[in-house]
Amino acid sequence: MPALNALAATPLAGGQFIGDAVHVVHLYVIEPHPQQPDPSPYSGVVWEAQYSTKRQPRTYAERAAAAADMVPLVTGRQRIVIDDLAPGAANPAWCTYGTCPNCAFLIRQDGTIDTVQTWFDRDGMERAIRALLAR
């Protein structure tokens, strides 16, 4: 969150900020390192990390409640979107765009993916956003 908050608050020319010029969206998906006894989706075994604060949601309501905990951590006009968890259609965004816990995408207004980062790099994304806005 701190890196995305900082990116959204980065000034642009004319008194605007990156978060004003582009939509900064957090996509809440599967927990990469859920609390035990839940296994990690990456290893199939318990793989907790220092930031493991939640168990793996089993329903959309549980995922929405977990995502709601993020709201106070997000500053500015950023949005939080929740990946679906319906039976038979679980995790469509996570499965479609990459099963990494910290991916970042810069998507143009026409829906074309401009930049893909398999691990969010704040400086690299700022450069990509500035380049896109300069076109």
135 domain residue, yes or no: no
pLDDT band at 87 (very low <50, low <70, confident <90, very high): confident
The DSSP symbol for 74 reads: -
pLDDT band at 131 (very low <50, low <70, confident <90, very high): very high
Domain housing 74: 2-130
Instruction: Give the HSE-up count for residue 44: Cα atoms under 13 Å, Cβ half-sphere.
Output: 0
93 domain residue, yes or no: yes
55-84 pLDDT, tens digit each? 999 999 999 999 999 999 999 999 999 999
111 domain residue, yes or no: yes
90-120 pLDDT, tens digit each? 899 999 888 887 899 999 999 999 999 999 9
33 domain residue, yes or no: yes
- Residue 44 CB contacts under 8 Å (≥ 6 apart), including other chains: none
Q: Is the pTM of this model over 0.95?
A: no
pLDDT band at 8 (very low <50, low <70, confident <90, very high): very high
Count of domains observed in the chain: 1
- Residue 15 CB contacts under 8 Å (≥ 6 apart), including other chains: none
Residues for the chain: how many in total? 135
Q: Please state, rounded to an integer, the average pLDDT across all residues of the chain.
A: 94
Give me 108's structure tokens.
């143009």
115 domain residue, yes or no: yes
